[in-house]
């Protein structure tokens, strides 16, 4: 089995490749042996790894995608993207990466299937940004996408194309709408929701934090470890789990900022509650602080999971500090 990971040097991509290269017994049987892992990203610091091929360059470059598919690919984890804030600032770049490159990857998988009757399992990292906002009083599997940012619109188009390619038998498609993933590293990558990671990291390290949304603001969160679990499940789940849909809004924990701070305090330091101040940014809170109750029965039936409870999420968000 040959894997391809786009955005392989990103936050989720690094965690996924480390899991796949880790202890075989921690993986589903289908993933314990692989022939080659191909990684795509702009650059790759560090030494080469056995059985891993690194292709530096932009996935907007057709030559990069052609090289990635120069031998059959069994599973694609398509994680590369230009996130929300950066996508709003640079439409051309966001379209090239979030949309045009997704089409090119799907077409490469289609060409492989036509040439060899070997269908790629295509796992697409979509986003809850497709739902847009303001959100209704509750969100469930019937909630229609209404993206209000270019990033969400481009992810939604990717979902539609994936479903169509799957319908035609060219790929085995699985699209996961990811919630807020924590805790992202400190460097800024264009994620407007970075404060959700910053508050966990700063308080866990004994620092103070000025929260840009109000104490009662609510959001949907998942730890990095949990999202990797779900990506791997998507790659290995039987086709019978995809009969009703190939696009899932992932289960996530809904939390207020007060509840999140209390969970951080319970795990790391009771005094953490005293080190938080709140000054709401209305625009930021409108996008990331008014998430209603979430119901995801289709994803749960298909075997996707959340972290269980907030304290577990906080522990898994910063494993090095746990």
pTM confidence score? 0.94
User: CA distances (Å), 197 to each of 235, 257, 314, 321, in order?
Assistant: 27, 12, 10, 14
Does residue 202 lie in a domain region? no
Does residue 30 lie in a domain region? yes
Beta strands in 31-95 (DSSP E): 36-41, 52-56, 75-78
Does residue 288 lie in a domain region? no
* CA 13 – CA 40 distance, rounded (Å): 10
Catalytic site residue 151? yes
pLDDT value at position 322? 41
Domain that holds residue 18: 2-179+222-251+294-306
Q: How confident is the model at residue 320 (pLDDT cuts 50, 70, 90)?
A: low
pLDDT value at position 188? 64
Q: 39-95: per-residue pLDDT in tens?
A: 999 999 877 877 899 999 999 999 999 999 999 999 999 999 998 889 999 999 999
Does residue 265 lie in a domain region? no
What is the CATH classification number for the domain harbouring 17? 3.40.50.720
Catalytic residue among 151, 268, 278, 291: 151
Tokens for 162, please give them: 């994936």
* CA 28 – CA 33 distance, rounded (Å): 10
Look at 296 and 244; give whichever has higher pLDDT. 296
Beta strands in 128-192 (DSSP E): 171-178, 180-182
Beta strands in the chain (DSSP E): 2-6, 36-41, 52-56, 75-78, 120-127, 171-178, 180-182, 209-211, 218-223, 247-249, 253-256, 276-278
Q: 267-297: per-residue pLDDT in tens?
A: 999 999 999 999 989 988 888 889 999 999 9
Does residue 34 lie in a domain region? yes
From the CA atom positions of the chain, what is the Rg in Å? 19
Number of Cβ within 10 Å of residue 187's Cβ equals 7
Number of domains in the chain: 1
């Amino acid at each position: 089995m040959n894997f391809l990971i786009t955005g392989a040097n990103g936050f989720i991509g690094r965690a996924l490749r480390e899991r796949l290269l880790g202890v075989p017994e921690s993986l589903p049987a289908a993933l314990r042996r692989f022939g080659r892992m191909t990684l795509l990203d702009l650059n790759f610091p560090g030494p080469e790894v056995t059985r891993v091929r690194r292709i530096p360059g932009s996935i907007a470059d057709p030559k990069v995608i052609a090289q990635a598919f120069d031998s059959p690919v069994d599973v694609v984890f398509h994680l590369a993207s230009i996130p929300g804030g950066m996508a709003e600032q640079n439409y051309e770049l966001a379209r090239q990466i979030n949309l045009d490159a997704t089409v090119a990857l799907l077409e490469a998988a289609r060409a492989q299937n036509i040439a060899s009757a070997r269908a790629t399992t295509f796992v697409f990292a979509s986003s809850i940004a497709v739902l847009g906002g303001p959100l209704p009083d509750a969100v469930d599997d019937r909630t229609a996408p209404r993206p209000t940012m270019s990033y969400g619109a481009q992810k939604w188009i990717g979902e539609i194309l994936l479903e169509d390619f799957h319908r035609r038998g060219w790929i085995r498609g699985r699209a996961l709408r990811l919630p807020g993933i924590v805790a992202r590293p400190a460097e800024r990558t264009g994620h407007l929701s970075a404060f959700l990671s910053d508050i966990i990291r700063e308080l866990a390290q004994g620092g103070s934090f000025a929260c840009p949304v109000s104490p009662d603001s609510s959001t949907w969160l998942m730890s990095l470890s949990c999202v990797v679990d779900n990506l791997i499940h998507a790659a290995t789940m039987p086709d019978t789990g995809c009969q009703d849909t190939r696009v899932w809004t992932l289960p996530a924990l809904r939390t207020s900022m007060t509840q999140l701070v209390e969970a951080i305090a319970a795990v790391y330091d009771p005094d953490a509650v005293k080190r938080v101040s709140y000054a709401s940014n209305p625009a930021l809170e409108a996008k990331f602080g008014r998430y209603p109750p979430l119901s995801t029965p289709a994803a749960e039936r298909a075997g996707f999971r959340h972290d269980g409870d907030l304290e577990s999420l906080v522990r898994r968000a910063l494993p090095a500090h746990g």
